[in-house]
A and B are shown apart, each in its own frame.
Chain A
Amino acid sequence: LTSASNVIVQSVLQLAWTATAASLIVCVSFALALRAFDNAGAARDERRPAAAFRGIVITAVPAAICLSAIAAAILVLAS
């Protein structure tokens, strides 16, 4: 009974940890990408092309993290 309980507890902890990490990575990285993209848009409106370009480059980093996390979740499930 104890070993069965341990297995259940471990599975539930794995579920909680994986779901929390995946969800927060996707949501926060998406929000960071949006903020950087918005900053880039504001810089373009103020005619500051260098700042706008820098904003676009910065946007790419959290956007890539967000998309990679989604792709990794699907690949892990399918493996």
Chain B
Amino acid sequence: VDNDLIFGIVVASALIFDFTNGFHDTANVVATSISTRALAPRVAVLLAALMNFAGAFISLKVAATIGKGIVSAGSVTLPIVFAGLAGAIAWNLITWSVGLPSSSSHALIGGAVGAMVVAHASAVNVGGLLGKVVIPALIAPCLAFVIAAIAIVAVYRVVGRSRPGPVTKSFRRGQIVSGSLLALAHGTNDAQKTMGVITLALVAHGNLPAKHFSVPSWVVVSAASAIALGTYTGGWRIIKTMGTRIIRMDVAQGFTAQTSGAAVILAASHVGYPLSTTHVISGGIMGAGAAKRLSAVRWGVAGNIVVAWVLTLPAAGATAAAVYALTRLLGGGTVGTIAVIALVVISAVTIRVRRAAPTAGARPLPQSS
């Protein structure tokens, strides 16, 4: 019964993570379409949610990488998976609260590896981590930057002498397709990470064999639903950062940034790399801006995003390691996990109450929604 309870907690945490992933990453998918006025915000978010849901059913290669390529599935226990998820969720919420785009994927992987290092350091597949996560993490945004830069130069050359009005109108329509493609790519790559984690939990719980990796249908459907719901709920603060604060885009730049991003993510999903859509689309936006005029990119904001990228893996890893150590300190297993959840809830409520106290009775500040 104890094991079933902790399994239920892990699955619920994984689906909450998937929801926050969709919530957090909505901006990556819809910001360019909204900032160029190709789509109204609500329509863009609804379209992205539907395409995310559909994308989750396309491939399972990334889920396999998460499930067996980074840590040894046979050594994973339910408290380790829980600690990894807790670290990832905490980091996602921190970066969301300050309006910084970070990588949900790398938060998840950093969390899993951090908890595993404290539990069984030898079970971490360093080669897999480097080859399938770290190297693609470095290459993907650069690749999207270069592709978007080449593509926008080529596009400007082709349509340079055409009448601006009709061309702009057609590019806006094209952005509906490129935005949908990006959302599909996002659903394909990101929903699979949660599928991989739930499958790891199923192996740890004894429902699936460690040697033959397969994702049950209910896992695919629930991960697809959670990410789609999170996407629909949206992350308006980050939409503002991504859509207008990196560069001001014209429709051709939006189209090329989205197409380049989608191409990189879909190609990576085919190889099984758990890429970050945030990294890729940010690289694409900057590439499309820099090719037109280097000063068009607000490098200060871009620098903040790079800092968040660099911090994500170690910060989520350290948080997950601390959660796992605390779980063990408080008795381990189900008791430790429940004690940690209680501790986190009490801390969150305390912080909330303390923050609210000085402003009680004062006129509320306008919120960016």
Taking Cβ atoms with an 8 Å cutoff, the residues of A that contact B are 4, 7-8, 11-12, 14-16, 18-20, 22-24, 26-28, 30-32, 34-35, 37-39, 41-42, 70, 73-74, 76-78
- Is the interface on chain B under 10, 10 to 19, 20 to 34, or 35 or more residues? 35 or more
The interface-forming segment of B22-30, B73-81, B93-101, B254-262 is B254-262
Selected contact of B184 from candidates A14, A30, A38, A74, CB within 8 Å: A74
Taking Cβ atoms with an 8 Å cutoff, the residues of B that contact A are 58-59, 127, 130-131, 135-136, 139, 143-144, 146-148, 150-152, 154-155, 158-159, 162-163, 166-167, 170-171, 174, 177-178, 181, 184, 188, 252, 255-256, 259-260, 262-264, 266-271, 273
B131 touches A30 (CB 8 A): no
Min Cβ gap A63→B in Å is: 11
B154 touches A15 (CB 8 A): no
Min Cβ gap B160→A in Å is: 9
6 contacts between A and B (CB under 8 A): A4-B127, A14-B271, A18-B270, A23-B259, A31-B159, A38-B162
B131 touches A24 (CB 8 A): no
Considering the complex, give the chain A residue whose CB is closest to the CB of B140: A15
A15 touches B267 (CB 8 A): yes
Tell which of A23, A37, A77 has the most Cβ of chain B within 10 Å: A23
- Which chain A residues lie closer than 8 Å to B162 at the CB level? 34-35, 38-39
Tell which of B146, B152, B163, B170 has the most Cβ of chain A within 10 Å: B170
A28 touches B266 (CB 8 A): no
A7 touches B268 (CB 8 A): no
Considering the complex, give the chain A residue whose CB is closest to the CB of B273: A15
Across the A-B interface, the 6 shortest Cβ-Cβ residue pairs: A23-B263, A31-B158, A8-B131, A18-B267, A27-B151, A19-B267
Min Cβ gap A74→B in Å is: 7
Given the complex of chains A and B, what is the CA–CA distance between A35 and B166 in angstroms?
Answer: 10
Interface of B (DSSP majority class): helix
Min Cβ gap B270→A in Å is: 5
Given the complex of chains A and B, what is the CA–CA distance between A11 and B268 in angstroms?
Answer: 9
> A19 and B147 in contact (CB under 8 A), knowing A37-B170, A70-B177, A77-B266?
yes
B151 touches A28 (CB 8 A): yes
Given the complex of chains A and B, what is the CA–CA distance between A73 and B184 in angstroms?
Answer: 11
- Which chain A residues lie closer than 8 Å to B152 at the CB level? 27
B167 touches A23 (CB 8 A): no
> A34 and B167 in contact (CB under 8 A), knowing A4-B127, A70-B181?
yes
- Which chain A residues lie closer than 8 Å to B266 at the CB level? 19, 22, 73-74, 77
- Which chain B residues lie closer than 8 Å to A28 at the CB level? 151, 154-155, 158
Given the complex of chains A and B, what is the CA–CA distance between A4 and B269 in angstroms?
Answer: 20
B143 touches A27 (CB 8 A): no
Given the complex of chains A and B, what is the CA–CA distance between A70 and B264 in angstroms?
Answer: 13
B174 touches A38 (CB 8 A): no
Given the complex of chains A and B, what is the CA–CA distance between A70 and B266 in angstroms?
Answer: 11
> A23 and B260 in contact (CB under 8 A), knowing A35-B158, A38-B166, A77-B59?
yes
B171 touches A12 (CB 8 A): no
Min Cβ gap B58→A in Å is: 5
- Which chain A residues lie closer than 8 Å to B163 at the CB level? 38, 41-42
> A23 and B166 in contact (CB under 8 A), knowing A30-B255, A31-B159?
no
A24 touches B273 (CB 8 A): no
- Which chain A residues lie closer than 8 Å to B255 at the CB level? 27, 30
A34 touches B263 (CB 8 A): no
Min Cβ gap B183→A in Å is: 13
- Which chain A residues lie closer than 8 Å to B155 at the CB level? 27-28, 30-31
Min Cβ gap A56→B in Å is: 14
- Which chain A residues lie closer than 8 Å to B159 at the CB level? 31, 34-35, 38
- Which chain B residues lie closer than 8 Å to A27 at the CB level? 151-152, 154-155, 255-256, 259-260
Given the complex of chains A and B, what is the CA–CA distance between A23 and B153 in angstroms?
Answer: 13
Min Cβ gap A38→B in Å is: 4
A77 touches B269 (CB 8 A): yes
Considering the complex, give the chain B residue whose CB is closest to the CB of A22: B263
> A77 and B154 in contact (CB under 8 A), knowing A8-B131, A14-B271, A15-B273?
no
Considering the complex, give the chain B residue whose CB is closest to the CB of A37: B170
